Amino acid sequence: MSVSHAQLKAFHAVAVHGSFTRAAERLYLTQPAISDQVRKLEERFGVLLFHRNKRSVRLTDLGERLLAITQRLFVVEAEAKELLQESRALQTGSLVLAVDAPVHVLPQIARFCELYPGINVKIETGNTDESLLRLFNYQADLALLGRAVDDERLLSLTLRNDPMVAFVSRHHPWAGRQSICLADLDDTPLVLREVGSVTRQTLEEEMNRAGLRIRPTIQVEGREAAREAVVVGIGVGVVSAAEFGADARVCALPIVDCQRRLTETLVCLREQSSRRIVATFLDLVRESLASPTAL
């Protein structure tokens, strides 16, 4: 009994995107057409691949196992397509990067776009956990993470290693200080990133190590929201020194006794590292690390 490629493709899209509607958008088909392909696949083999209700679509145990297979199938399919297009010198294609902080990889992306203008580059932002999940779900080709990840499935390049700094509104009582220590943050109102943020996790570990109390006054999603919360005086923020940037509304304060540093690590799945687009981008990044003035 043969398996229809179109039915597997429809199943994979729904499983990856978690929605029949979003799967239809990605495959440029109608939602009924996607539903029909998946239904036919289930009926053909007498199986159930999704638990469906009005609000969500969730994989069954069998669906999870099939997804692991279709992920490999479509990676191999993409590799075959790229192999056949090599003579076109990267004139077409796409590169998706899931990143926690775009600033760390923007120079390399700019150079890549200059060299290969036919490649459609997409940046998806999220914290480290979200970016890593996109990579493992084959929704991104590369991920930029706020911490090193020890996983044999990954090929990694460390881009940066920077200290943490606190930052406050220019109207804050600390605005005139040159630095602070961890004890200054003890029971101080803090603007914290969402759970899963490496910056938050690192700060919590440092404060716990020093026996100090964390007092979250607000939790926000993303760096920009954290900055705006600090600007209006809600509390003190913490960020990687490399991500502080130029903003006259806030003042950076080095934390003199903070031992931990924040790394930025570019990763891809080893099984995809030989794909031409991925390999070319990695080579460009290695070149920039070896000679920072190259970009």
Give the pLDDT confidence of 237-285 residue by residue, as tens digits: 999 888 887 889 999 999 999 988 888 999 999 999 988 899 999 999 9
Same domain, 175 and 256: yes
The answer to the question of residue 233 being in a domain is: yes
- 97 and 141 Cβ atoms separated by less than 8 Å: yes
In one letter, which amino acid is 163?
A: P
Same domain, 209 and 197: yes
Q: What is the mean pLDDT of the chain?
A: 90
Same domain, 242 and 283: no
Domain limit, last residue, from 84, 115, 143 = 84
Which of 274, 273, 285 lies closest to 112, judged by CA? 285
Amino acid 221: pLDDT: 87
Task: Grade residue 292 by pLDDT with cuts at 50, 70 and 90.
Answer: low
pLDDT single digits (tens) 168-190? 999 999 999 999 999 999 999 99
> Cβ atoms within 10 A of the Cβ of 4, count?
13
pLDDT single digits (tens) 153-167? 999 999 888 899 999
As to burial, measured by CB atoms within 10 angstroms (0-12 exposed, 13-18 middle, 19+ buried), residue 273 is: middle
Same domain, 9 and 134: no
pLDDT single digits (tens) 196-252? 788 898 999 999 999 999 998 999 988 889 999 999 999 999 998 888 878 899 999
Same domain, 150 and 267: yes
Q: Are strands 154-169 and 237-240 parallel, antiparallel or unpaired?
A: antiparallel
d(CA 94, CA 206): 40
Same domain, 222 and 177: yes
Amino acid 86: pLDDT: 67
Same domain, 275 and 136: yes
Same domain, 177 and 239: yes
The answer to the question of residue 10 being in a domain is: yes
Q: 140 vs 259, which has greater pLDDT?
A: 140
At what angle are helices 61-84 and 276-290 packed, to 10 degrees? 80
d(CA 85, CA 79): 10
Mean per-residue pLDDT for 140-162? 90
Task: Name the H helices within the chain.
Answer: 5-17, 20-27, 31-45, 61-84, 106-115, 128-136, 198-209, 223-231, 276-290
Same domain, 46 and 183: no
The answer to the question of residue 295 being in a domain is: no
Amino acid 295: pLDDT: 57
Domain limit, last residue, from 84, 115, 148 = 84
Amino acid 108: pLDDT: 94
Domain limit, last residue, from 84, 113, 132 = 84
Q: Are strands 261-269 and 215-220 parallel, antiparallel or unpaired?
A: unpaired
**The total number of structural domains that make up the chain:** 3
Amino acid 1: pLDDT: 66
Amino acid 149: pLDDT: 85
Same domain, 286 and 143: yes
pLDDT score of 88 more than 80: no
Same domain, 98 and 225: no
- Residue 206 maps to which CATH number? 3.40.190.10
The answer to the question of residue 54 being in a domain is: yes
Please report, rounded to a whole number, the percentage of residues in the chain having pLDDT higher than 70. 97
Same domain, 217 and 192: yes
Please report, rounded to a whole number, the percentage of residues in the chain having pLDDT higher than 90. 68
The answer to the question of residue 192 being in a domain is: yes
Q: 260 vs 40, which has greater pLDDT?
A: 40
Mean per-residue pLDDT for 96-119? 91
Range(s) of the domain holding residue 117? 93-159+263-290
